[in-house]
Chains A and B, each alone.
Chain A
Amino acid sequence: MRKYTPKDNVQAKSYYTDRYWVAPRVPREAVEAGTHFADVVEAMKAFAKESYIEVGQLVIHIDAAENFDAIKTLKEQCGYSQCSEQSAVDYLAKDGEFELFWQLLNIKEAKRVRIVCRLKEGEAIESIVPLFNSANFAEREMFDMFGIKVNNHPFLKRILMPDDWEGHPLLKTYPLHGDEFASWYEVDKIFGKEYRDIIGPENRDPARIDRYDTKRFSRVGYEVPFGADISEGEKEQPIEYSETLLVDYNKKAGKQLDQRK
């Protein structure tokens, strides 16, 4: 029987698991009264669902719908004048949610706050570009990598991947080596989909190396004459590619992605 691999998370997993081992947690400290963070917590009281200090930085959990107001309060009342980073974590397999975070910096106090919220799959988040321009690129990257839509973003478009890409690479359902669409991207684009059969998977990979080809590749360690046959009668083995997942990203039912199977 073939080994079962979960389809909702295809990232590398440890081969060894101890069912009795419980991972410890990075200590979360309570906010002490009288500190700068206590003032922040006080100002953010209307939004904060939970707040604690983790590795020297204040973490505030908020509701996804209130992200703009919460960050606006933080900027205007607490002096957090820079949004260092903004991105998401994929928890779709476990909770059906994304975890979004905003990393903010107060230049005067040299303190950092992380705003965290959970966003259900398919929901959109409000853009904070009116508050911080640095979120412009960061939100585009989040959209590109996770497919999270951002409302009222001035120019929500893919940023790192090509515009005509299918799928969102940082989702846990997206395999490291790319999916069906990714492996045929260049062929589809340059020659058209019908050329998949003509080119075939063995010629798809431009970095492919033929072990027996002595015309274009030299041997390391033992040199052979140009064009010599070194296969010793052995048949050439086609390179095996890892089985790619047939994920229908556009949710078009009935669309068969892999024509070859």
Chain B
Amino acid sequence: MQQPNKLTPFFENLNFERDDNTMVINFGPQHPSAHGQLRLVLELDGEQVVKAYPDIGYLHRGIEKMAENMTYNEFLPTTDRLDYIASTSNNYAYALAVEKLLGIEAPRRAQVIRTMLLEVNRVISHLFFIATHALDVGAMSVFLYAFREREFGMDLMEDYCGARLTHSAVRIGGVPLDLPEGWVENMVAWCDKVDKEVKNTYEALLTENRIWRMRLEDVGVISAEDALNWGCTGIMLRGSGVEYDIRKEEPYELYSELDFDVPVSDRCDSYGRYRLYMEEIHQSTRILRQLVQMYKESDPQLMAHAPQYISATKEEIMTQNYALMQHFVLVTQGMRPPKGEVYVPTESPKGELGFYIKSEGEPYAYRLKCRAPSFFHTGLLQDILVGTYIADVVTIIGSTNIVFGEVDR
């Protein structure tokens, strides 16, 4: 225990009195670079980290517990609160897991809209990443530019579903609404703008910037073996030279029909990952442009036809007695999927987001486990921070792109 006096004042966050001459500091949980509520206990020898201990749980809301007490449709809006930077990717991952359990497939137009929303969310999330990461490292202006484009992206989401952050834009079995008029044109215009801005502004500001390269190059090096061992996914894995993108390898939705590249970097450091984020934005806009034609060619059906599990369209409910009865049962009792268990991985902007659902044939999931990429990326911090300098800690945390909604759940 510290004995505060004039010479050794009491610092809540610091502990100097250690036998081995190291200092222990509390990084967070209220640190602007902690990306939410990360408490990182660092043991420092001079400026070098000797030991790092990520302490999480400050944002724990018991989402998995709530899933056991909600019907499947009730739980869907709760998934918004996992990765709140790109909510639709969570909604989608959950909806896909339930669809796999039910054995149904969304109709073509719903698939096109979902893929569009997923990619818009990916761009939004990546723009958010570059904004906050640059801000953490010290580049203020990139934050302002990237948030501008992100605002336009959120406007697109708002035009579609009315919400900017917690979208709930996907339903189990499809999507609730068709795209509003002019949305596709706005989306293409936004893609052009994002492409142009990423290329001419962000990459021009950062990629060859001497300070940026000095802060990022050879910082946070993760070997391919370590990345696999620690459960890294998404860009954390591809930044270490392992080419694995769930969209390509285990395609879901329309990704098998779309033409896009999976950028891989074998630099294994933060700079390589930064380059991948930039490249993925371009790939996402490329996917979005291809989807425009697919959207025009698709039939207008939006929800899968599975009367046992999914309500009919509003028009049918209002006109047909049986559809109304079905709807009443589904709303008051909830759907009862078959018994069984399913694990469905999807490529969220942060990495592999998977939902494990164990169903006992009841309207409530018996067990739902959300495999959140950021949870494992936070675990990795205790390994990669050791030996780095205190100034690089913020860069490395930023580079892992963790979001605490899904770490703590």
Contacts and interface: CB of A to CB of B under 8 A. Distances in A.
Given A82-B228, A134-B230, A137-B378, A14 B364 contact: yes
A24 B379 contact: no
A136 B364 CA distance: 29
User: Which of B103, B343, B359 has its CB near the most chain A CB atoms (within 10 A)?
Assistant: B343
B229 A103 contact: no
A176 B68 CA distance: 9
A81 B223 CA distance: 14
Nearest to B246: A110
B371 interface: yes
A11 interface: yes
Contact of A107 (B228, B340, B344, B362): B228
Interface in B327-350: 333-334, 336, 338-345
Instruction: Specify the main secondary structure of chain B where it touches its partner.
Output: mixed
Contacts of B229: 81-82, 132-134
B68 A84 contact: no
Contacts of B344: 55
A24 to B, nearest CB: 4
A81 B7 CA distance: 54
Interface stretch (B56-64, B157-165, B182-190, B208-216): B56-64
Contacts of B101: 26, 55
A26 B334 contact: no
A78 interface: no
B28 interface: no
Interface in B135-176: none
Interface residues of A, number: 46
B360 interface: yes
A26 B344 CA distance: 14
A41 interface: no
Contacts of B228: 81-82, 107
Interface string A107-148: 100101010000000000000000011101110010001000
A133 B367 contact: no
A48 B379 CA distance: 30
Contact of A57 (B70, B244, B343, B379): B343
21 contacts: A12-B69, A14-B362, A14-B364, A15-B333, A23-B336, A23-B338, A28-B340, A55-B100, A55-B340, A82-B228, A84-B233, A101-B356, A103-B343, A110-B249, A133-B229, A133-B231, A134-B231, A136-B379, A137-B376, A138-B376, A161-B60
Given A23-B362, A54-B342, 16 more contacts: A11-B68, A11-B69, A13-B362, A13-B364, A14-B364, A16-B333, A26-B359, A84-B233, A84-B345, A134-B230, A134-B231, A159-B56, A160-B60, A160-B408, A160-B409, A176-B65
